Amino acid sequence: MSSIKTVNPATNKVEKEYEEMTGQQIDTILSNADKAFKTWRKTSFAVRAELLHNVAAILRKRKEELGKLCSVEMGKLLREGIGEVELSADIFDYYATNGAKFLADSPLDTPNGKAFLSYEPIGVLLSVQPWNFPFYQITRSAAPNIMAGNTVVLKHASNVPQAAEIMEKIFAEAGAPKGVYTNLFVPGSKVSEVVADPRIKGASLTGSEPAGASFASMAGKYLKKSTLELGGSDVFIVMPDADIDKAVKTATAGRLWNAGQVCVSPKRIIVQASVADKFIEKAKSIFESAVVGDPLDPKTDLAPLSSEKAVEDVMKQVEKAVKQGARLITGGKRLNRSGAFMEATILTGVTKDMSAYSEEIFGPVLVVYSVKDVDEAVELANDTTFGLGGTVFGTDTDKAVEVARRIDTGMVYINHVTGIAPELPFGGTKNSGYGREQSPAGIYEFVNAKLIRVTTPDAAY
């Protein structure tokens, strides 16, 4: 049986299955992508922008259908799935509208003659993406790079094959020439072979630390540029002057988002000891009142996790934490029903010698820490191998920004969980990876910033 299949996490039933592509099929796809690049790189910005605007329009037109597909394939709440599709459309439009400006020649100051940078595409890119945002993850990789004149081959997560397939069809419907954007149905074990192929000129991956280390090693071996986004253990620092009700509401909503399966979900809450009990009690009330159920039901607050393995892994982490001495405030159990459902969970008393202190828990589990002051909060926030996003929540935003500057991550939001917007760069530091997606920065990752200088033979240099 193929590993590439849709298993509805609300029912654990197989919805659709796909055969893995043969070596010949993979070769044909890479050849088509390489051939398409030779033409696509010469197209005008206007032609590329038209394609991206068309993709955006199709996404918006079909947002209900595509949002439902997110629910069926990986369990996302329907309203979240629709929101994801709308965000994806916004990103395509963003690069279509701004791409020509971002990629225009950039003049350089020089005392002799003139010089400028010309931003040129590099070739076929491999994009390896995860399941937690089936359309958004594709978009933030594909939109800037296709606008830049590259062609893209996607290897999506094996549990969201319908999203992968339909995105290729949307590009074709939007008018993309054959080979500009293509899906690969291959297991993770075949990725290294694709990275090694000389027709691949750059590679991007969003996934786990082990996958990222292997991926970067392979890209480095063949001297190919790569970008990585490897998850995180985002901190949520509650400042002494914070409105506790607003802080609790923001933190819990962020942790329930996508059933906690978000790299930038607030996973570690750090609160002053004087108000820690109050924060925990309010968070407990919200979590215990959260409606767990069918992701297609608008009354549902907490959907199933993406798969049976996903819920089993999170449950093992919770059980291990409790066994090691953490205090279970609420939750910590699976629901007695079919599907990958679990209760929203709160842990306290996690110490440095416990696994939960250093691991990313990819599910609806909130770990709350109590500290004596802001300095201790910052020290705890930075005591992690991850460095993706984070939040500082407080009334005095100037002080909150000061604290944000001290946090070692790629992103920090004030009074909001780490979010997503087309114009804002997304990416981390430390073991959360390297490179940026979205914003102007996202379009420069896989282009050749070529220096062109006009001068004379007798110039000093």
Classify residue 232 by burial, with Cβ atoms within 10 Å: 0-12, 13-18, 19+.
Answer: buried
Is the pLDDT at 1 greater than 90, yes or no?
Answer: no
- Mark whether 93 and 242 lie in a shared domain: no
Say whether 70 is catalytic. no
Average pLDDT over every residue of 248-273: 97
Q: Are the beta carbons of 7 and 302 closer than 8 angstroms?
A: no
Cβ contact 50:64 at 8 Å: no
Residue 2 pLDDT class (50, 70, 90 cuts) = confident
% the chain with pLDDT above 70:
100
Q: Is residue 93 part of a domain?
A: yes
Structure tokens at 64: 């209900």
pLDDT of 461 higher than 90:
no
As a whole number of angstroms, the distance between CA 232 and CA 228 comes to: 12
194 with 326, same domain: the answer is no
Q: Is residue 461 part of a domain?
A: no
Number of structural domains (the chain) is: 2
Rounded to an integer, the average pLDDT of 439-459 is 96
Q: How confident is the model at residue 459 (pLDDT cuts 50, 70, 90)?
A: confident
Residue 160 lies in a domain: yes
Instruction: Based on the fold, state whether residues 208 and 294 are members of the same structural domain.
Output: no
Note whether 154 and 287 are same-domain residues.
no
Alpha carbon distance 185, 444 (integer Å):
28
Q: Is the pLDDT of residue 184 over 70?
A: yes
Active site residue 319: no
Strand ranges for 250-363 from DSSP E: 268-272, 327-330, 345-348
Query: 457 lies in a domain?
Result: no
pLDDT digits (tens, 9 = 90+) for 408-426: 999 999 999 999 999 999 9
Q: Are residues 64 and 161 both part of a single domain?
A: yes
Residues whose CB falls within 8 Å of the CB of residue 78, separated by 6 or more in sequence, listed in order: 67, 68, 70, 71, 295, 296, 298
The pLDDT assigned to 251 comes to 98
Question: Which entry of 263, 360, 437, 445 is annotated as an active-site residue?
Answer: 263
Are 155 and 39 part of one and the same domain?
A: yes
- CB distance 112 to 459 below 8 Å: yes
Interior CA angle at 187 toward 429 and 183, to 5°?
85
Rounded Cα gap, residues 387 and 434, in angstroms: 10
Main-chain phi, psi angles of 391, to 5 degrees: -135, 140
Query: 78-102 vs 136-147: helix axis angle to the nearest 10?
Result: 10
Integer Cα distance of 162 and 62 in angstroms: 14
Specify the DSSP class assigned to residue 135.
T
350 three-class SS: coil
Cα separation, 66 vs 157, in Å, equals 17
Cα–Cα distance for residue pair 68/79, rounded to 1 Å: 9
In single-letter form, the type of residue at position 104 comes to A
Residues 264 and 401 in one domain: yes
Same domain, yes or no, for 32 and 152?
yes
Helix (H, G, I), strand (E, B) or coil at 272: strand
Tokens linked to 95: 């690069």
Helices (H) and strands (E) in the chain, counts: 14, 18
When pLDDT is averaged across residues 107-136 and rounded to a whole number, the result is: 96
pLDDT digits (tens, 9 = 90+) for 342-393: 999 999 999 999 999 999 999 999 999 999 999 999 999 999 999 999 999 9
- Mean pLDDT of all residues in the chain? 97
- Structure token pair of residue 171: 């590009």
Average pLDDT, integer, range 98-103: 98
Show the domain range for 40.
5-231+423-452
d(CA 366, CA 332): 11
* Catalytic residue (one of 73, 229, 343, 445): 229
Once rounded to an integer, what is the mean pLDDT over residues 229-239? 96
Residues 61, 95: one domain? yes
